[in-house]
Amino acid sequence: MLVLRHVSRKFRPMLSCDHDPAPQTRALRYHATGKFEEVLRLETIPSVKPGEGEVLARLETAVVHPSDLGQIAGTYGRLRTLPAVAGREGVGRVVAVGAGVSALKPGDRVRMPEDEGVWRDAVVARADALLPVPADIPDDQAAMAFINPPTAWLLLRKFVALNPGDWVIQNAANSAVGECVIQLAHAAGLRTINLVRSPEKHEARLKNLGADIVLPDDKEAVKAVAAHLAGASPRLALNSVGGMSVATLIRTLGRDGVLVTFGGMTGDPIRFPTREFIFSNITCRGFWMDRWARSASREERDDVFGQIFENLRRGTLRMEVDSIWPLEKYAEALARAAAYGRNGKVLLRP
């Protein structure tokens, strides 16, 4: 893991709002959508004191996702009102509370609120809208706990009632979500078939995470899966690639199997083999974590995140970090995040 510089973890809580705890707030903002290197800027924005029912949270660690780049570019499914602060995921500390706040106190760790934009030094938000984060989870793991892990958790539980020993197949198994699927499936006693473009590069690492089978995602994959399973069939297939890879997944599914698409890395149209639809009664579904997060109840969200925190605590789930960058090195950080061949997420720290 590459760390660009030491970032101090010292914390000095402020117990009241008599003084402004954030006289200047830096934020990575864009005033128009486009390529991040052309529209994203590190700007100073007015600081705000927390009012009644509000807290001021200071960023500790933020994550760079493809969806962040999509929002900046204007291609993501939900865009922000401009000018906007970029970033969807991160963790911070409460440094000041407004009147009437009792559930949170200075020093508490919280998820940085997504809608306001995460890539900033600090933010004021409603206390009752913030998710508390356990203090015993490392900063980097806590920062990455809110998008990819719950996506994997829900993919494994929302569409098919799986039992220990059942098979799940996925493409792009070396992606961040794919690695979470492997670990959470393994912890639940499920078995995984994992299709990747370069097994020679990824097989040892994925099997170390708990993968049962790792195969090349090519035209021979259907036969290879059948040979490995010797008559068994996956009940659930997870697609984040698109194109012909989807046809491969569908052809491996057993009767009444379910294909769930939650991404489209190639941008190619999904291919649906008619035979399997008719004779195997295959169902195709879609999943968008953003929509689930906005429609689920607070109790549902707390339950899912509680499961993720517990897996992180037990060590049955761990996400890789590629590199850590200060906010002012955002151009290099985002270029690294967009590059092919990295292993793990790019993180930002103030």
Measured distance CA(113)–CA(340) in Å, rounded:
29
Rounded mean pLDDT, 88-99? 96
Are residues 220 and 279 both part of a single domain?
Answer: yes
Query: Treating both helix axes as pointing N-terminal to C-terminal, what angle do 176-187 and 199-209 enclose, rounded to 10 degrees?
Result: 40
State the pTM of this model.
0.89
Q: Residue 268: give its domain's CATH number.
A: 3.40.50.720
Are residues 207 and 134 both part of a single domain?
Answer: no
Structure tokens at 331: 């151009």
- Examine residue 308 and state whether it is found in any structural domain, yes or no: no
- Examine residue 306 and state whether it is found in any structural domain, yes or no: no
Question: For 173-182, what is each residue's pLDDT tens digit?
Answer: 999 999 999 9
Letter for the amino acid at 284?
Answer: C
Are residues 116 and 171 both part of a single domain?
Answer: no
Catalytic residue among 30, 76, 330, 340: 76
- CA dihedral sign, ordered 321, 327, 329, 335: positive
Taking the alpha carbons at both ends of the chain, their separation in whole angstroms is 18
Q: Residue 85: give its domain's CATH number.
A: 3.90.180.10
Question: For 252-261, what is each residue's pLDDT tens digit?
Answer: 999 999 999 9
Are residues 18 and 128 both part of a single domain?
Answer: yes
How many domains are contained in the chain? 2
- Examine residue 304 and state whether it is found in any structural domain, yes or no: no
Measured distance CA(71)–CA(79) in Å, rounded:
6
- Examine residue 259 and state whether it is found in any structural domain, yes or no: yes
Are residues 126 and 164 both part of a single domain?
Answer: no
- 263-286: b (≥16 Cβ within 10 Å) or e: beeeeeebeeeeebeeebebeeee
Establish whether the linkage from the previous residue to 83 is cis, with ω within 30° of 0: yes
Final residue in a domain of this structure, among 245, 269, 290: 290
Are residues 121 and 19 both part of a single domain?
Answer: yes
Final residue in a domain of this structure, among 273, 290, 307: 290
Provide the pLDDT for residue 242.
83
Order of strands, sheet of 84-85, starting from the edge strand that comes earlier in the sequence: 40-45, 25-30, 84-85
Measured distance CA(105)–CA(99) in Å, rounded:
11
Residue 330 annotated to the active site: no
Are residues 139 and 169 both part of a single domain?
Answer: no
Q: Where in the sequence is the domain holding 59, given as residue range(s)?
A: 2-144+319-349
The contacts found for 264-267 with CB under 8 angstroms, 24 or more apart, are 264/240, 265/172, 265/175, 265/240, 265/241, 266/241, 266/242, 267/242
Measured distance CA(100)–CA(51) in Å, rounded:
9
Q: What is the CA radius of gyration of the chain?
A: 21
- Examine residue 298 and state whether it is found in any structural domain, yes or no: no
Measured distance CA(125)–CA(50) in Å, rounded:
8
Are residues 133 and 84 both part of a single domain?
Answer: yes
- Examine residue 214 and state whether it is found in any structural domain, yes or no: yes
Are residues 190 and 166 both part of a single domain?
Answer: yes
Are residues 135 and 158 both part of a single domain?
Answer: no
pLDDT surpasses 70 at 7: no
Measured distance CA(83)–CA(116) in Å, rounded:
11
Provide the pLDDT for residue 11.
44
- Examine residue 305 and state whether it is found in any structural domain, yes or no: no
- Examine residue 139 and state whether it is found in any structural domain, yes or no: yes
Cβ distance 121 to 51 under 8 Å?
no
Measured distance CA(297)–CA(291) in Å, rounded:
12
Question: For 284-324, what is each residue's pLDDT tens digit?
Answer: 999 999 999 999 999 999 999 999 999 999 999 999 999 99
Percent of the chain with pLDDT over 90: 81
Question: For 144-154, what is each residue's pLDDT tens digit?
Answer: 999 999 999 99
Query: Cβ of 49: how many Cβ atoms within 10 Å?
Result: 15
Cβ distance 236 to 205 under 8 Å?
no
Pairing outcome for strands 89-97 and 109-111 = antiparallel
Are residues 140 and 155 both part of a single domain?
Answer: no
Give bridge partners of residue 258 from the DSSP assignment. 236, 283
Are residues 207 and 222 both part of a single domain?
Answer: yes
Q: Which helix (H) or strand (E) holds 348?
A: strand 345-349
